[in-house]
Amino acid sequence: MDSIIGQGIDRIDGRAKITGAAAYAADKRAPDMAHGAIVTATIARGRITSIESTTARNTLGVLMVMTHENAPRQAPFQARADDRHARPKPQLASDEVQHFGAPVALVVAETPEAARAAADSVTVVYEKSAGVFELGDASRDAYDPLKASEGESSDSHIGAVDAAFDAARTRIDAIYTTPYQCHAMMEPHASLASWQNGKLTVWSSLQLIESAHKSIADTLLLEPDHVEVISEYVGGGFGGKLPVHADAILAALAARELGRPVRIVLTRQQMFHVTTHRPASIQRVRLGADADGTLTSIAHQSLSQSARADEFSEPIVNATRSLYAAPNRLTSQRIATLDLPVPDSMRAPGEAIGLLALEQAMDELAVALDMDPIALRLRNEPEQDPEKRVPFSTRALVPCLTEGARRFGWDRRRKQPGTTRDGRWLVGMGMAAAIRGNFLRKASARVTLKSARRAVVEMDMTDIGTGSYTVLAQIAAEVLGLPVENIEVRLGHSGYPDTPGSGGSFGASSCGAALHDACTKLKARLAAGEGAQGLSAEGHVTPGEDYKKYSQFAYGAHFAEVGVDETTGEVRLRRMLGVFSAGRILNAKTARSQLIGGMIWGVGAALEEEAVVDPRFGAFITRDLASYHVPVHADVPDVDAILLDELDPHANVLGSKGVGELGICGAGAAIANAVYNACGARVRSYPITLDKVLPTLLDRME
């Protein structure tokens, strides 16, 4: 029988989604349900001196106005925790305002319209304090965070970097900046809370059920077995639904006070301040090389925003530590606290913006050396992890580069900018490497036989549009020897076995390995003669020694062709190709879709996405999908992703790696490099908008 794992079968939840049968958090209903609307702060830093809510309380249909003056007792916020997403998240807990858009009141009414109207009538008076909102202004107060993402140190230093750089034949020393970005998923954050017999159920849009379960229970000072969290369908998360946000906590508090279910749906505008975002960064990259392109030194230093209210360190330089060989190496990341909303992980945290700088710097070095950018990367391929000094579990960057070049027609690229035309368009090609760490997290799964030919899979894993339901069904079907349609997958309930959830590209491999273990145990019990119907087994997985013995990454190569209007400076993507190697592929169709989605994110990062802060108010002024620009169909005419065959025996029992975030890594840099090849504009401040390209075009005209 052909392997079920890897087949590009349609998503088993697809029909429910396109017919509307799949209920998202904002779709949930409960008898006698009330509706909440959050009032948010209009200052960035200070204290509330008074709240006038008489008009709101007297509005027809209003049931409650909750402020810091009457909010129930909650656990205090914890600045430090092993799992930052599982900490208590108290709401309306004091008169302090820590950022623009922070919740300062909640209005609950019989209808959402009444709640919104009454919320608009609440008047809040503040004592305003001065805030700091510009990353550059805070750079002198930057500090070393306690630890970077995934437990990595903030700094690494090997050899004599400065001396090697000064002695290098060819040097690149450049500053790159990336802006604030927002997740901009279609589904808003929403929660419905209901109490029954002293127990709380919260239906919410969340990526991490286990963490959310603990966060909600601890915040409300409840025992875990008195709380159930459900998130069966998530309409896009991208990291924005890793934490528990105000909607879940406030809905639970209000429902307990009123004795009836309460639902809260954030408005699109509120999502830009009440939830999280990707921090802005300032990055310095220094590359030194011999005449033949051999790197003698690499230095990558970053500064990114953290919030005064809560520390977060974007692991910007981590990919640089493993991508290329060089004997002298330096990486460091610092954060600066600003009076802005709290940042957090966003699709491919670290690599997504770190590679925007490193891979453009590599292109600049190739130009300075008069060397092909692919040849430069091949020249500096490491034999082992250059900083951990351990072997790679697998490393297929070279095949990705060479196969991508062949398929894309890289040999037709002209290295001199401005020499390829299509009417008024100057046409250029660019490329960049992709790398994304592979992670295995502790996970559990349960499988139960409903009959000799049907099985049920249960775990608290979520499906955020990535195909979790489908790939888990494929794994169970293959191990148990059953048709995929005979596997029922149940996800997103805190009562199911714990998993790490969806995030960091670790979900499918971690949960899949735990499920593989459960199914293997179940088969062994069947072979021992135990009865079929009702038979159940639990499986588990934890990271083993292979994660210390080997350096584990997925790889890729991006190729982009753009056109630059020689008069206006407008940049248009013409075609894009990504070639990737990510272990054993669990579903060819969903994996390709994820990679293409990531590449399109790279298009947005390169050309469009920017959450703009008004420094007068400390507020994002691009807080809707009209002003916060993301790619649409017309922006991505021809994008394709190719997956190379691979199996990583050291990654997990399945040999798989994560793909959800790999596609964005390096994609934006390929476009930036294509813009340079098209017209000679080297734009180091993302996004690459026409005003940044025009000066180069004007110089060409003189």
Structure tokens at 75: 């656990």
| Residue 187 annotated as catalytic | no
Residue 530 DSSP code = -
The SS3 of residue 471 is: helix
Please say whether the beta carbons of 194 and 216 come within 8 A.
Answer: no
User: How far apart are the C-alpha atoms of 477 and 455, rounded to whole Å?
Assistant: 9
Fold of the domain spanning 149-181+278-438+549-701: Aldehyde Oxidoreductase; domain 4 (3.30.365)
Give CA–CA dist 475/5, Å, rounded.
6
Nearest by Cα to 641 from 360, 298, 408, 422: 408
Q: Is 281 helix (H, G, I), strand (E, B) or coil?
A: strand
Task: Tell me the longest C-alpha to C-alpha distance in the chain.
Answer: 86
* 691 contacts 669 by C-beta, under 8 angstroms: no
Phi, psi of 102 (to 5 degrees): -65, 140
Whole-angstrom Cα distance, residue 184 to residue 277?
A: 9
Q: Which residues are 365's β-sheet partners?
A: none
Please, what is the Cα angle at 33 between 32 and 38, to 5 degrees?
Answer: 150
**Angle between helix 507-527 and helix 468-480 axes, rounded to 10 deg:** 30
Q: With 0-12 CB in 10 A as exposed, 13-18 as middle and 19+ as buried, what is 299?
A: buried
Count of CB atoms within 10 A of residue 674's CB? 31
What does pLDDT average to in each consecutive run of 10 residues of the chain (702 residues)? 91 95 96 98 98 98 98 94 93 98 98 98 98 93 77 91 98 98 97 98 98 98 98 96 98 98 98 98 98 98 95 95 98 97 97 98 98 98 98 98 98 97 98 97 97 97 96 98 98 98 95 98 94 94 93 98 97 98 98 98 98 97 96 96 97 96 98 98 98 94 77
- 8 Å CB contact between 451 and 487: no
- The string of DSSP letters for 686-700 reads SS--HHHHHHHHHHH
Structure tokens belonging to residue 323 = 């991508």
CA distance 30 to 80: 36
**For the chain, how far is it from start to end, CA to CA, in angstroms?**
68
Apex CA 287: angle with CA 285 and CA 291, to 5°? 160
Residue whose entry in the numeric block shows the structure tokens 């813009």? 675
The answer to whether the 14-21+442-542 and 31-129+184-274 domains have the same CATH topology is: yes
Six-digit token string for 546: 């292979």
For every residue of 231-244, DSSP letters joined together read -S--S--TTTTSS-
Tokens 């502790």, located at residue: 442
pLDDT of residue 150: 58
């994560």: which residue's tokens?
658
- Identify the CATH assignment for 31-129+184-274 out of 3.30.830.10, 3.40.50.620, 3.30.365.10, 3.40.50.970: 3.30.365.10
How many angstroms separate the CA atoms of 536 and 449, rounded? Answer: 6
Domain ranges of the chain: 14-21+442-542, 31-129+184-274, 149-181+278-438+549-701
- For residue 42, count other CB atoms closer than 10 A to its CB: 14
Count the helix, strand and coil residues of the chain and give each as a percent rounded to the nearest 5.
30, 25, 45
Fill in the amino acid letter for 12. I
Residue for token digits 């220094």? 286
- The DSSP code for 94 is S
Q: Give the integer Cα–Cα distance in Å for 446 and 514.
A: 9
**Alpha-carbon span 49 to 126, nearest angstrom:** 5
Q: What pLDDT sits at residue 342? A: 96
CB count in 10 Å sphere of residue 392: 20
**Nearest to 437, CA basis, from 509, 514, 359, 332:** 509
Residue 29 near residue 262, CB atoms below 8 Å: no
Residue type, 513: A
Residue with the two structure tokens 């994304």 = 436
Please tell me what DSSP assigns to residue 493. Answer: B
Q: Are 268 and 257 in contact (CB under 8 A)?
A: no
Task: Tokens 């409840």: give the residue.
Answer: 222
How high is the pLDDT of residue 576?
98
Q: What angle do CA 187, 192, 194 make, to 5 degrees?
A: 165
Of 478, 417, 473, 485, whose CA–CA distance to 445 is shortest?
Answer: 473
The whole-number pLDDT of residue 2 equals 81
Interatomic CA distance for residues 187 and 240, integer angstroms: 11
Block residue for tokens 């037709």: 412
Are the beta carbons of 434 and 662 closer than 8 angstroms?
Answer: yes
Residue written as token pair 């065959």: 645
Task: Determine which one of 210, 364, 561, 661 is catalytic.
Answer: 661
14-21+442-542: CATH topology: Aldehyde Oxidoreductase; domain 4 (3.30.365)
Long-range CB contacts for residues 616-622, cutoff 8 Å, separation at least 24 = 617/43, 617/44, 617/100, 618/43, 618/44, 618/45, 618/99, 618/100, 618/131, 618/133, 618/339, 618/340, 619/44, 619/100, 619/101, 619/273, 620/100, 620/180, 620/182, 620/272, 620/273, 620/277, 620/341, 622/272
Cα-based angle 284, 285, 290 (whole degrees, multiple of 5): 150
Give me the pLDDT at residue 147, please. Answer: 62
Closest CA to 450 of 476, 481, 487: 487
DSSP 367: H
Structure tokens, 415: 């290295």
Q: Report the distance separating Cα 616 and Cα 608, nearest Å.
A: 24
